[in-house]
Amino acid sequence: MSTEPVLKTPEVHPALPAEETRRNFIGGQWRAAEDGRLVQSHNPATGEFLGAVPQSGAAEVNAAVAAARDAFDSWRKTPAPKRAEILFRAGELLIQHKAELGELMVREMGKVRSESLGDVQEGIDMTFYTAGEGRRLFGYTTPAELPDKFSMCARDPLGVVAAITPWNFPLAIPTWKIMPALVAGNTVVFKPAEDTPLVATELVRLLAEAGLPEGVLNLVHGVGEETGAALVEHPDVALVSFTGSTEVGRQVAIRGAELMKRVSLEMGGKNAILVLEDADLDLALEGIVWSAFGTSGQRCTAASRILVQREILPELTERLVAATEKLRLGDGLSPETDVGPVINGVQLQRIHEYVQIGQAEGARLLCGGEIATEGDLAKGHFYRPTVFGDVDPSMRIAQEEIFGPVTALIPVADLDEAIAVNNATRYGLSTSLYTRDINAAYRAIREVTTGLFYINAGTIGAEVHLPFGGTRGTGNGHREAGQAMLDIFTEWKTVNVDFSGRLQRAQMED
């Protein structure tokens, strides 16, 4: 990219092109890992080597946290509107480099170009939306119960925030964490997923170019078991904001509780689309295909369950299978591609194992169900979009997150059964309902227990000005985006000013 600064070439393993090796960003400087270990990044569609980044350990994490801690006092005292001006500049830079960022994302993460550009646009939207909060970090005033006394409250930043992010939205999700943390006056250590380090690096470059002071934002690459764990353990990290699997999130929550630090978790989903017999089936079909197979099913909001009233199940099944079989696999850079690869070989095998589990449980495989190996597809990690029928709600494929292009058709008798089945999982992120009945829609709004709910739309499509998050095993109650996003990144400070000139004792009788 044209914004990339000229760096001294780091020492790397001789098998890796030195000019393609990235570094950590600590205290305003690009640094190699102390021991020279590297993590490689490859194109999941072609196997092409894209570059390498440091495999950071405790030494790099300690340096990054120290830089963030040292920068905190000056940054928190910078007026919030001034902090926001830097984010506005960052948003402009993201717009200028949207095309390059989108193409890099296709190559590194695999999703098709239009989705990658949408990921970047979401990051742009979040950056501008959050920058606006620089003049809206509202507290409030309230009447005091004693005479000659003034009461108010305001938000204070926490300190050093650890942002640990996944690979499926390698630019959007980091902005959901970094931007509100920064505008609130915190400093940040950012640990991106090891599968998408290059997109993360470009985001940090642009934020640095926008004018962030040294140490305010730091980048440490590496794997979760080492780099992420070191961040969770560090005593100077006040908050760990984590998006990833429920299993890892539970470990983060347990350790965070032991260390008495704040933890914000966004984790898995087992989302459902409910289709009633009066639904517009053309509209419902479009929503199902997009929600189930967009991003190759690699979204926490992907629709992996389709709960259908029995009266329309045969027709919807036939149409869904036909539409699914038409989807074209391929490199996301090709305009002919509908569905790109999954992120890596480990995830490819995990998806296939779940398909085998579904068959063993008695579900009927209607289409897909195999790793694609013909032609150029053999170079990457491609799984054919898969639809199961005759699925019981208790089956593992109806209860466990697969995180791939697999969805399950589950028959239900009516809206009441659909809601009961929808709510009966360990997750509670996103639900959608297709119906023309306004009464049914409002009943479902009341009874569905997920954090996101859509009427006559799919389960995916978050907007940055609305709270994002779920219930049960999907998270620990906090929300990202929207007005709620500042809550996790700030502490409330209550202030009482007594100008009576005498001791006044609250709640005391004369």
Residue 429, domain member (yes or no): yes
Residue 260, domain member (yes or no): yes
Q: How confident is the model at residue 445 (pLDDT cuts 50, 70, 90)?
A: very high
Q: Rounded mean pLDDT of the chain?
A: 94
Residue 321, domain member (yes or no): yes
Task: Verify that 388 and 315 share a domain, yes or no.
Answer: yes
Residue 1, domain member (yes or no): no
Q: How confident is the model at residue 477 (pLDDT cuts 50, 70, 90)?
A: very high
Task: Verify that 353 and 283 share a domain, yes or no.
Answer: yes
241, β-bridge pairs: 163, 264
Interstrand relation of 187-191 and 217-219 (parallel, antiparallel or unpaired): parallel
Q: Is 297 helix (H, G, I), strand (E, B) or coil?
A: helix
CATH number at residue 157: 3.40.605.10
454 has a pLDDT exceeding 70: yes
Q: CA 393, CA 422: separation in Å to the nearest integer? A: 9
Percent of the chain scoring above 70 in pLDDT: 95
The pLDDT score that the predictor gives to residue 509 is: 64
Distance of CA 47 to the CA centre of its chain: 25
Task: Verify that 325 and 424 share a domain, yes or no.
Answer: yes
Task: Verify that 238 and 290 share a domain, yes or no.
Answer: no
> How is residue 198 written in tokens?
């290059």
Instruction: Please say whether the beta carbons of 232 and 253 come within 8 A.
Output: no
Task: Verify that 235 and 262 share a domain, yes or no.
Answer: yes
Give the amino acid at 170: P
The pLDDT score that the predictor gives to residue 79 is: 98
What is the number of residues in the chain?
A: 510
Which strands make up the sheet holding 452-455, listed edge to edge? 364-367, 386-389, 406-412, 303-309, 271-275, 430-434, 452-455
Instruction: Catalytic residue, from 194, 202, 300, 480: name it.
Output: 300
Task: Verify that 160 and 257 share a domain, yes or no.
Answer: yes
Q: How confident is the model at residue 506 (pLDDT cuts 50, 70, 90)?
A: confident
117 has a pLDDT exceeding 90: yes
Task: Count how many domains the chain has.
Answer: 2
CATH number at residue 390: 3.40.309.10
Task: Verify that 263 and 276 share a domain, yes or no.
Answer: no
Task: Verify that 80 and 97 share a domain, yes or no.
Answer: yes
Instruction: Please say whether the beta carbons of 484 and 176 come within 8 A.
Output: no
Residue 9, domain member (yes or no): no
Task: Verify that 312 and 215 share a domain, yes or no.
Answer: no
463 class by beta-carbon count within 10 Å (0-12 exposed, 13-18 middle, 19+ buried): exposed
Residue 285, domain member (yes or no): yes
- CA dihedral sign, ordered 105, 62, 9, 225: negative
The pLDDT score that the predictor gives to residue 21 is: 63
The verdict on whether 266 is a catalytic residue reads yes
Instruction: Catalytic residue, from 115, 133, 266, 401: name it.
Output: 266
Instruction: Please say whether the beta carbons of 342 and 404 come within 8 A.
Output: yes
pLDDT tens digits, one per residue of 172-201: 999 999 999 999 999 999 999 999 999 999
Residue 502, domain member (yes or no): no
Task: Verify that 446 and 332 share a domain, yes or no.
Answer: yes
Task: Verify that 315 and 413 share a domain, yes or no.
Answer: yes
Provide the whole-model pTM: 0.94
6 has a pLDDT exceeding 70: no
Residue 463, domain member (yes or no): no
Task: Verify that 250 and 293 share a domain, yes or no.
Answer: no
Range of the domain at 451: 271-455
